[in-house]
Amino acid sequence: MPKITMNINGRETSTEVENRTLLSTALRENLYLTGTHIGCDTSQCGACVVHVNGKAVKSCSVFAAELDGATVDTIEGQANADGSLNVIQQAFQDHHGLQCGFCTPGMVMSAAELLKVNPKPSEAEIRDYLEGNICRCTGYQGIVNAIMAASGQDVPSIAAE
């Protein structure tokens, strides 16, 4: 089996994978990074989004064996150095952008990519960008609000009942 070395969340990591092993499987099964979730088998749901060489990728759509030498960032590496939630994660908590939590890692990773390429997205741009990430719990309202907030834009406080 091919041995690959990737920089995962800032650490050089080696593992052996079969040629047919997907990155999502390698992360979960070989490296115990189970924060990356698998919600479908057609690359539709987005629960497995990670960053490969700085770009958001559905990790079920690439073979791990292709990624020798790549830099991979997953949800486990997103918090601040002191362990506190980063701006996007904190905004998801503040604006109730998650319920069961299963889509959440992919949502956070997609949101990070969006804000990198478009630091002040409009609501419509956020909704359009999240086309590849399915959430069955929230109706997306809290997620959209969270991403607006994380980009420094005003959102109506959902807690203002």
Partner 1 sequence: MPDGGIGAPTKRREDTRFLTGRGKYTDDFTPQNTSYCAFARSQVANGKINSVDMSAAAEMPGVLATFTGEDFVEVGGNPAGWAIVSRDGEPMKEPKRPVLAHGKVRHVGDAYAAVVAETLEQALDAVEAIEADIEELDAVIDMASAVAGSGSLVHDEIETNTCFDWGWIEDNRAATDEAIKAAPHVTTLELVNNRLVPNALEPRASIGEYDPGTGDYKLTTTSQNPHLSRLLIAAFVLGIPENKLTVLAPDVGGGFGSKIYHYSEEALVLAAAKKLGRPVKWTATRTESFLADAHGRDHVTKIELATEKDGTFIAFRTETMANVGAYLSNFATVTPTFLHGTLMAGNYTVPNVYVNVKAVFTNTAPVDAYRGAGRPEATYSLERVIDKCARELGMDPVEIRRKNFIKKDQYPYASAAGLEYDSGDYDALMDGLEKTADLAGFEARRAESAKNGKLRGLGINAYIEACGIAPSNLVGILGARVGLYDAATVRVNPTGNISVMVGAHSHGQGHETAFPQIVADMLGVDALSVDIVHGDTSKIPFGMGTYGSRSLAVCGSAVFRATEKIIVKATAIAAHMLEDKPENIEFNDGVFSIKGTNKNVGFGDVALKAYIPHDYPIEELEPGLEETAFYDPANFTYPSGAYASEVEVDPETGKVTICSMVALDDFGVVVNPMIVTGQVQGGLAQGIGQALLENSVYDKNGQLLSGSLMDYAMPRADDLPNLVVDHSHATRCTHNPIGSKGCGEAGAIGSPPTIVNAVVDALVRGGHDVDHIDMPVSPSRVWAAMNK
Where along the sequence are the contacts to partner 1 (CB under 8 A)? 18, 20, 28-29, 33-42, 44-45, 47, 74-76, 78-79, 85, 89, 92-94, 96, 98-105, 108, 123-124, 126-128, 130-131, 133-144, 158-159, 161
CB nearer to partner 1: give 69 or 83: 83
Q: Smallest gap, in angstroms, from Cβ of residue 6 to partner 1?
A: 17
Q: Is residue 99 classed as helix, strand or coil in its secondary structure?
A: coil
Q: Smallest gap, in angstroms, from Cβ of residue 138 to partner 1?
A: 5
Q: Smallest gap, in angstroms, from Cβ of residue 161 to partner 1?
A: 4
Which residue in 137, 140, 75 sits closest to 106, CA to CA? 75
Is the Cα dihedral 118, 137, 98, 96 positive or negative? positive
CB nearer to partner 1: give 50 or 69: 50
Helices assigned H by DSSP within 4-103: 23-25, 87-94
CB nearer to partner 1: give 26 or 130: 130
**Euclidean distance between CA atoms 10 and 160, whole angstroms:** 40
CB nearer to partner 1: give 67 or 105: 105
**Euclidean distance between CA atoms 34 and 31, whole angstroms:** 8
Q: Is 43 left (phi over 0), alpha (psi -120 to 50) or beta?
A: left
CB nearer to partner 1: give 44 or 53: 44
Q: Smallest gap, in angstroms, from Cβ of residue 47 to partner 1?
A: 6
Q: Smallest gap, in angstroms, from Cβ of residue 119 to partner 1?
A: 19
Residues pairing with 22 in the sheet: 63
